Structure 1
Amino acid sequence: MNACIKLGEVHGAKLGELLFFRQAGAAVLVTAVIASGPGLASIRTQRIGAHIRRAVVGLTGMVFVFSAIMTLPLAEATTLSFSTPIFATILGAIVLGEPTGWRRWAAVLTGFVGVVIVARPGGHALPPIGIAYGLIAAVTTATVFILLRQIGRTERAQTTVWWFSVLSLVPLSIVYAMTAQAHDATGWAILAATGLFGGAAQLAMTASLRYGSVSLVVPMDYSSLLWATVLGWWLFGTLPGDTTWIGAPIIVASGLYIVWREHLRRREITEAAISPE
């Protein structure tokens, strides 16, 4: 999907168009999956306000995610997205009051060191605005994680995905009407592929969390750096900079440690709850 976003930009697609097709593709796929599974009645909700808040924050985050991808090389944009668990840890401690020991705080600081290395302060290889887009995207995505933890207490994952896709199409339809333009066959194909790949990825992520634990699923996400590197070289002739090769492993290690500590904490809570007094 990220490669399609950059290809779309190369073929003249604007940010509003890419966002609209991304969400339209997701809405179509998610609706089809729900209709063939639990049925459309499962999208009923008593928490429309929570879904609206999630849509506002999620769409804001998506704007910055797409902007970072369009501004930075694929590998660097992907690497900055790996800082999301770092910000999620901070927000979890502040907003949800989750216990966060010194080990996870040390992992957070280590992760920020990796971000600084990738950002190359004082260097000129990466545009500062692109770095800003990537970090704001990570913060807003972490905020979405916090909202999803609260919504997930009462809502099915597919229901949440459906409401996000459909609600975000309301403002995006207005944006698309203002930015829509003619494209050649390749341009239309890229826009359609952006939506289909984005929707498929969202469904796959939802399914992965249903069949596997977070501690198992999240590390798989880091393999996206491999694909971003390969696609960046193949399609755009770019490879990660020297500092990215240094900073990326630090950020990944920080994120993996945070996930592992969270897994241990939840296992301890579960064992304490089921153990006899």
Structure 2
Amino acid sequence: MALRLGAAVCVSAMFIAGRVASTRGVHIVETLFYRQLLALPVVLSWIAMTGGFGSIRARRIGAHATRMVVGVAGMALNFLSYILLPPAEAVTIGFTMPIFGTILSAAILKEKTGLHRWSAVLVGFLGVLVTQRPDAGELLPLGVAVAIAAAFMTACVSLILRELGRTENAGNIVFWFTALSLPPLGLGAVLYGGGHDPLTWALLLFIGLSGGAAQMLLTGALRWAPVSVVLPMDYSSILWIALLGLLIGQGWPPATTWIGASLIMVSGLYIAWREHLHARRQRSA
């Protein structure tokens, strides 16, 4: 739980830094490139200390390539949602990822999804509607659409990781995601990148290091505890985002954001609990 909490802090700080970097003239493709490039040494150090470099041999390079494309698209949408929306609203809508995961599991994997989980899905979407309060004229419809698309793509990544995890270890998956993304992102950085002042370069360095640290912490958390135990720590992001938002002049989120976030969190936690019960029944069967 402590590792997952640390990951939530790192991810929150990374997205806030990405928002600030965008105001200093950094293109989002450039942000993604440095996010991956500067995370690579962190990932390689982690692999060296755990399974060794022999563990990164890819058995299913096509599946890794698919994970890279979907993962980079999801990452781009997530960064963009924090640029287009107030950070607290962006993270709140991002909490709908387990909801989309339930929908995709039922539609693609044909998993049985009963009334309980479908009810939780409806409650989660009600929470999204609550965040879009009548006085929220400053919330761009495009930003809301991007945040929802980011949550959907993140849910797609979770399904791909579930399939990859059957044959590949965590270090292998993280390494190939990072390595395969660098050539296309590097080309994009050449086309859209530029010179920056020292503070902006420091922000890009921070984005890469915090992103790499978050990957290690997330993976480490799942080594020590199941998803249903560590998932609640993810929802602490709303607090870290709110505090960091204050530091960059965003103000404190309104009551509707907290109410909507609470509904989405209850929905996500209930879905996780139902999945835990389902997995336990399968093991005992």
Instruction: Place the TM-score, normalised by the shorter chain, in its bin.
Output: over 0.9
Seen in structure 2, the aligned counterparts of structure 1 residues 39 and 102 have a Cα distance that, compared at 3 Å, is same
Contact kept, 8 Å, 2:94 with 2:150, in 1: the verdict is yes
Specify which of 35, 56, 64 is matched with residue 22 of structure 1.
Answer: 35
- Measure the CA separation in 2 of the matches of 1:245 and 1:106: 21
Shift in Å, 1:151: 0.5
Matched, 1:242 2:255: yes
Aligned pairs for 1:116-195 (under 5 A) are 116-120=129-133, 123-195=136-208
- Measure the CA separation in 2 of the matches of 1:189 and 1:249: 34
Aligned pairs for 1:1-277 (under 5 A) are 1-120=14-133, 123-272=136-285
Please give the per-residue CA displacement for 1:86-123, whole angstroms capped at 9, x wherever unaligned.
00000011111111110000000110111111133784
Amino acid paired to 1:141: T
SS in 2 for 1:97: coil
Contact kept, 8 Å, 2:228 with 2:273, in 1: the verdict is yes
Shift in Å, 1:252: 0.5
SS in 1 for 2:112: coil
Amino acid paired to 2:92: T
Task: Compute the RMSD of aligned alpha carbons.
Answer: 1.2
Shift in Å, 1:12: 1.9
Shift in Å, 1:179: 1.4
Amino acid paired to 1:153: R
TM-score normalised by L of structure 2: 0.93
Contact kept, 8 Å, 1:73 with 1:238, in 2: the verdict is no
Q: May I ask how many residue pairs the two structures share in their alignment?
A: 272
- Measure the CA separation in 1 of the matches of 2:37 and 2:24: 20
Amino acid paired to 2:127: G
Please give the per-residue CA displacement for 1:15-56, whole angstroms capped at 9, x wherever unaligned.
111111111122221112112322111110120000001101
Please give the per-residue CA displacement for 1:156-186, whole angstroms capped at 9, x wherever unaligned.
0111011011111121001000111111110
TM-score normalised by L of structure 1: 0.95
- Measure the CA separation in 2 of the matches of 1:173 and 1:121: 42
- Measure the CA separation in 2 of the matches of 1:153 and 1:30: 21
Contact kept, 8 Å, 2:86 with 2:250, in 1: the verdict is no
Amino acid paired to 2:275: E
- Measure the CA separation in 1 of the matches of 2:104 and 2:188: 31
- Measure the CA separation in 2 of the matches of 1:221 and 1:77: 14
- Measure the CA separation in 2 of the matches of 1:29 and 1:224: 23
Amino acid paired to 1:223: S
SS in 1 for 2:194: coil
Structure 1 residues without counterparts, runs of 5 or longer = 273-277
Percent identity (aligned):
47
Structure 2 residues without counterparts, runs of 5 or longer = 1-13
Partner of 1:275: none
SS in 2 for 1:125: coil
SS in 2 for 1:223: helix
Please give the per-residue CA displacement for 1:170-210, whole angstroms capped at 9, x wherever unaligned.
21001000111111110100000000001101110011011
- Measure the CA separation in 2 of the matches of 1:151 and 1:78: 27
Contact kept, 8 Å, 1:76 with 1:118, in 2: the verdict is yes
